[in-house]
Amino acid sequence: MKKESLLGADSADLERKFAQIGLTKLDAKRVLPWIHVKCVSSFDLMTDMPHKIRLLLPEYFSLERPLCRNLQKSSDGTLKALLEFPDGHQIETVFIPDEKRNTVCLSTQVGCAMGCKFCNTGRQSFVRNLSCAEIMAQVFFWKDMLPMLKELSHPHLSNLVFMGMGEPLLNAENLFQALELLLDTKKHNFSRNKITVSTSGIATNDLQQMAKFGIKLAISLHTANDAKRSELMPINGKYNIDALLNAAQEYLKRSNTEHVTFEYLLLAGINDSDADARQLAKLLSGIRCKVNLIIFNSWSGSTFSGSSRMRADAFLSLLLAKGIRTVIRKSRGSDISAACGQLKGAGEFIAPRIS
To ligand SAH, the closest distance from the beta carbon of 222 in angstroms equals: 6
Q: Does 263 bind ligand SAH (CB under 6 A)?
A: yes
Please check whether residue 265 is in contact with residue 315, taking contact to mean a CB–CB distance below 8 angstroms.
no
Q: Does 111 bind ligand SF4 (CB under 6 A)?
A: no
Q: Which amino acid does the sequence have at 145?
A: M
CA–CA dist 302, 340 (Å, integer): 14
**Measured from the CB atom, is 170 or 183 closer to ligand SAH?**
170
How many H helices and E strands in the chain? 11, 14
CB-count burial class (<10 Å; 0-12, 13-18, 19+) for 347: middle
Q: Does 276 bind ligand SF4 (CB under 6 A)?
A: no
To ligand SF4, the closest distance from the beta carbon of 126 in angstroms equals: 9
Q: Does 169 bind ligand SF4 (CB under 6 A)?
A: no
**Among residues 220, 296, 210, 308, which one has the least CA distance to residue 254?**
210
Active site residue 92: yes
Q: Write the binding mask 118 to 137 for ligand SAH: x where contact by CB under 6 A, - elsewhere.
A: xx------------------
Q: Does 175 bind ligand SAH (CB under 6 A)?
A: no
Sorted by sequence, the CB contacts under 8 Å of residue 199 that are 6+ apart come out as 167, 168, 169, 207, 217, 218, 219, 220
- For 77, which DSSP code? S
Q: Write the binding mask 321 to 350 for ligand SF4: x where contact by CB under 6 A, - elsewhere.
A: --------------------x---------
- Residue 184 to residues 83, 133, 187, 189, 190: CA-CA distances in angstroms? 25, 16, 5, 5, 7
Q: Does 116 bind ligand SF4 (CB under 6 A)?
A: yes
Interface with ligand SF4: number of residues (CB under 6 A): 12
**Measured from the CB atom, is 265 or 318 closer to ligand SAH?**
265
**Measured from the CB atom, is 72 or 121 closer to ligand SF4?**
121
Q: Output b/e per residue, 271-310; b: 16+ Cβ within 10 A.
A: bbeeebbebbbebbeeeebbbbbbbbbbbeebebebbeee
**Measured from the CB atom, is 39 or 338 closer to ligand SAH?**
338
**Measured from the CB atom, is 36 or 228 closer to ligand SF4?**
228
**Measured from the CB atom, is 170 or 336 closer to ligand SF4?**
170
Please check whether residue 280 is in contact with residue 316, taking contact to mean a CB–CB distance below 8 angstroms.
no
**Binds ligand SF4 (CB under 6 A): choice among 23, 35, 119, 219:** 119
Q: Does 196 bind ligand SF4 (CB under 6 A)?
A: no
CA–CA dist 161, 179 (Å, integer): 11
Catalytic residue selected from 39, 105, 119, 340: 340
Q: Output b/e per residue, 176-215; b: 16+ Cβ within 10 A.
A: bbbbebbbbeebbebeeebbbbbbbbbbbebbeebbebeb
Q: Which amino acid does the sequence have at 26?
A: L
**Binds ligand SF4 (CB under 6 A): choice among 8, 122, 306, 345:** 122
Q: Does 224 bind ligand SAH (CB under 6 A)?
A: no
Per CB under 6 A, residues contacting ligand SF4 are: 112, 114, 116, 119, 121-122, 165-167, 200, 220, 341
Residues engaged in binding ligand SAH (CB under 6 A): 118-119, 163, 167, 198-200, 220, 263, 265, 294, 296-297, 340-342
